[in-house]
């Protein structure tokens, strides 16, 4: 991701990342509940609250990489 | 005598996992002569919670359950403690909430009302797990990446370490797990971003030098 990346670029990146996850795992997102990989991908595509949370997670991760925290 | 109270609702996958990972800390408590009050399943209700808090005044309170910025729930999401309503029940206690977002507002107001410390998450706590392990969540290696730090934090406090030292141990465990999965070539490396998220949102309000004085 470059400094010129658009929100759509980040969304596409998150979708690619999620696609590589194992289908045998589920994700628990607090009070939103538990989701399969396929359900999460649909939420990202729908741009809803849960999808936006996944994009927020990716943005924080990219910032941590940029700062050299990890 | 040091008293440790834990709420362990179990009404969905999330609370089931949190409950089992927390239960493991009871052995550490007992081996250090700490008495445990276990509000498990239906007992994780407000009446029982307030009753035990007022009658026994436990030194250490661990809240497992769903939450929001200003509240933490018990079994079937019955609200146990909420900001502006009954957070004074936490006065004089060390509190750890494995619950989404509650460190945001409830953490602050609890400390303002006299809690010694409130540690938790100021945004959603996220973890991955393998449904095939539902009957034995402690053997779930994926969940372990996300829940191990939490168990370590509790056990460190039960052993008498300070809040600051215990939090550092927990944060280091999260960092260790992040580095471990980033160095693998499996798809698990994608989980690192969620561990970074949990690390970023694991926060404490109040006195970091406090301890259970075991």
Q: Are the CB atoms for B193 and B126 separated by under 8 Å?
A: no
pLDDT in tens, B31-68: 999 999 999 999 999 999 999 999 999 999 999 999 99
Name the nearest CA neighbour of B145 among B187, B211, B99, B191: B191
Task: Determine which of A26, A50, A62 to mutate to test the interface with B (most B C-beta atoms within 10 Å).
Answer: A26
- In this structure, the number of other CB atoms found within 10 A of the CB of residue B177 comes to 20
The Cα–Cα gap between B172 and B180 comes to 12
* ipTM reported for the complex surpasses 0.90: yes
Whether residues B193 and A58 touch (CB distance < 8 A) is answered with yes
Query: Any CB–CB contact under 8 A between A29 and chain B?
Result: yes
Residue of B nearest to A56 (CA): B197
> Residue A7: is its pLDDT beyond 80?
no
Question: Looking at the complex, does the CB of residue A51 fall below 8 Å from at least one CB of chain B?
Answer: no
pLDDT one-digit tens code per residue, B53-63: 999 999 999 99
Cα–chain center distance at B153 = 8
Residue A40 lies in a domain: yes
Give contacts of B12 with chain A, Cβ < 8 Å.
Answer: 33-34
Mean confidence (pLDDT) of chain B: 96
SS (H, E, C) chain B: CCEEEEEECCCCHHHHHHHHHHHCHHHHHHHCCCEEEEEEHHHCCHHHHHHHHHHHCCCEEEEECCEECCEEECHHHCEEEECCCCHHHHCCCEEEEECCCCCCCHHHHHHHCCCCEEEEECCCCEEEECHHHCCCHHHCHHHHHHHHHHHHHHHHHHCCCCHHHHHHHHHHHHHHHHHHHHCCCCHHHHHHHHHHHHHHCEEEEECCCCCCCC
Q: Where are the beta strands (DSSP E) in A1-70?
A: 26-29, 33-36
Question: What is the number of CB-based contacts under 8 A between chain A and chain B?
Answer: 78
Range of the domain at A32: 8-67
**Statement: residue A27 has pLDDT above 90:** yes
User: Which whole number is the average pLDDT over B143-149?
Assistant: 97
Q: Between A25, A29, A57, which is nearest B193 by CB?
A: A57
Taking the CA atoms of B107, B198, B72 and A41 in sequence, report the sign of the dihedral they define.
positive
Say what the pLDDT of residue B7 is: 98
Number of domains in chain A: 1
Residue A4 contacts B, CB cutoff 8 Å: no
Total number of residues shown for chain B = 214
- pTM score, whole prediction: 0.95
Ordered domains of chain B (ranges, CATH): 3-206 (3.40.50.1460)
Is residue A2 in some structural domain?
Answer: no
Residue A1 lies in a domain: no
In a domain, A36, yes or no: yes
């Amino acid at each position: 991701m470059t400094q010129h990346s658009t929100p759509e670029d980040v969304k596409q990146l998150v979708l690619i990342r999620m696609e590589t996850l194992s289908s045998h795992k589920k994700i628990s997102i607090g009070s939103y509940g538990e989701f399969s990989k396929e359900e999460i991908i649909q939420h990202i595509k729908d741009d809803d609250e849960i999808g936006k949370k996944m994009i927020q997670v990716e943005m924080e991760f990219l910032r941590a990489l940029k700062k050299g925290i990890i | 005598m040091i008293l440790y109270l834990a709420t362990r609702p179990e009404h969905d996958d999330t609370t089931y996992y949190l409950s089992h990972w927390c239960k493991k800390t009871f052995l550490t408590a007992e081996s250090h002569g700490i008495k445990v009050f276990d509000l498990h399943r239906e007992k994780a209700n407000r009446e029982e919670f307030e009753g035990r808090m007022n009658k026994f005044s436990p030194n250490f309170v661990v809240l497992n359950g769903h939450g929001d910025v200003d509240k933490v729930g018990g079994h079937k999401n019955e609200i146990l403690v909420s900001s502006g309503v009954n957070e004074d029940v936490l006065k004089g206690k060390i509190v750890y909430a494995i619950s989404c977002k509650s460190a945001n507002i409830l953490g602050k107001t609890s400390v303002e009302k006299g809690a010694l410390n409130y540690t938790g998450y100021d945004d959603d706590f996220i973890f991955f797990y393998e449904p095939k392990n539902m009957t034995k969540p402690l053997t779930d290696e994926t969940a372990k990446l996300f829940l191990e730090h939490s168990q370590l934090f509790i056990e460190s406090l039960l052993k008498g370490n300070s809040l600051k030292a215990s939090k550092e141990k927990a944060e280091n465990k999260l960092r260790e797990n992040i580095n471990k999965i980033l160095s693998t070539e499996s798809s698990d490396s994608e989980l690192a971003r969620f561990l970074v998220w949990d690390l970023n949102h694991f926060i404490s309000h109040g006195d970091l030098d406090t301890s259970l004085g075991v």
